[in-house]
Amino acid sequence: MNLVSKYNKKVLKEFTNPKNMGEIKNANGIGKIGNPTCGDILWVYIKVEKDKKGEEILTDIKFKTFGCAAAIATSSMITKLAKGKKLSEVEKINYKDIVDALGGLPNIKIHCSAMASQALKKAIEDYKNKIQIKKRVNY
């Protein structure tokens, strides 16, 4: 089975032309996850800033993924789903949202969408931990 018959057009587009790839040098949250079974590793970098109302907004998000077509496509898609949204909304993004946005994935590749959502959650957790540390230091 070749790549074209395995994935739909949306997945292939995200794989061949991924968005928001790279690293944020001044990220205030970083999440990393790997899968020892398939060998995929991905990092998600986020930049969160408060808007005029004091709402936390995910103003920038990038990823670095070493893995298969599905891992790269799901990483790209999660950045598109999250960028510019309130952090409270971003926290609700799950693997199913990614699969739906991609128009589906082969069952054997669903774990890639779970990895992308877990990496994002870890980046948010890292961001929140850093905020708590700053509050304690400035107390």
How far is the C-alpha of 80 from the C-alpha of 86, rounded, in Å?
Answer: 13
Active-site pick, 46, 112, 116, 124: 112
68 in catalytic set: no
Report which DSSP code applies to 86: B
The SS3 assignment for 46 reads strand
Q: Is 100 in contact with 74 (CB distance < 8 Å)?
A: no
How far is the C-alpha of 28 from the C-alpha of 126, rounded, in Å?
Answer: 8
Active-site pick, 12, 38, 101, 131: 38
Other CB atoms closer than 10 Å to residue 36's CB: what's the count? 7
HSE value, Cβ hemisphere, 13 Å, CA-based, for 132: 6
Q: Active-site residue numbers?
A: 38, 112
